[in-house]
């Protein structure tokens, strides 16, 4: 059986930046499919490496390392999602100025806004709140 070229694998797998759970699950299915093979071609190894990077980037955005302040947490998530403050403000309904002030340490996140962020990013709202 002939092995597929990298371009043929790309056409079939259609890897892309992961922004949602559906794309994440599709990428994981491909990773699993490739990992199950006892011998992978160079093209399959390259695709596996790419998919693993995309999955890792998405998961890092969803599950940031513990211990950071709420503003560091939000900055980490924005960076890993490739999202701007304006884009976040638009999708969650928090004024961009509020997001900017939180990121710059000039104000704390309100409970209401923490719940909005938690719902949008599928995370615990407490990650966006300063300890009391």
pLDDT in tens, the chain (132 residues): 357 899 999 999 999 999 888 999 999 999 999 999 889 999 999 999 999 999 888 887 777 666 678 888 898 888 888 889 999 999 999 999 999 999 998 999 999 999 999 888 888 888 888 775
Count the domains in the chain: 2
pTM (whole model) above 0.75: no
Question: Which pLDDT does position 131 carry in this prediction?
Answer: 73
Residue 1 lies in a domain: no
User: How far is it, in rounded angstroms, from Cα 1 to Cα 36?
Assistant: 17
Asked if 101 and 117 sit in the same domain, the reply is: yes
Asked if 123 and 83 sit in the same domain, the reply is: yes
Please give the residue range of the domain that contains residue 51: 6-62
Asked if 38 and 10 sit in the same domain, the reply is: yes
Q: Report, in this order, helix, strand and coil percent for the chain, each rounded to 5.
A: 65, 0, 35
Residues 54 and 15: beta-carbon distance below 8 Å: yes
Asked if 48 and 11 sit in the same domain, the reply is: yes
């Amino acid at each position: 059986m002939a092995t597929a070229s990298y371009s043929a694998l790309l056409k079939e797998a259609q890897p892309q930046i992961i922004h949602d759970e559906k794309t994440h699950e599709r990428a994981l299915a491909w990773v699993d499919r490739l990992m199950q093979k006892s011998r992978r071609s160079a093209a399959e190894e390259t695709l596996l490496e790419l998919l693993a990077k995309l999955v890792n980037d998405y998961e890092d955005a969803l599950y940031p390392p513990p211990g950071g302040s709420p503003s560091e947490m939000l900055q980490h998530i924005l960076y890993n999602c490739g999202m701007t403050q304006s884009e976040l403000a638009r999708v969650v309904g928090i004024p961009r100025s509020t997001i900017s002030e939180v990121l710059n340490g000039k104000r704390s996140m309100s409970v209401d806004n923490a719940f909005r962020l938690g719902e949008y990013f599928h995370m615990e709202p407490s990650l966006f709140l300063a300890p009391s």
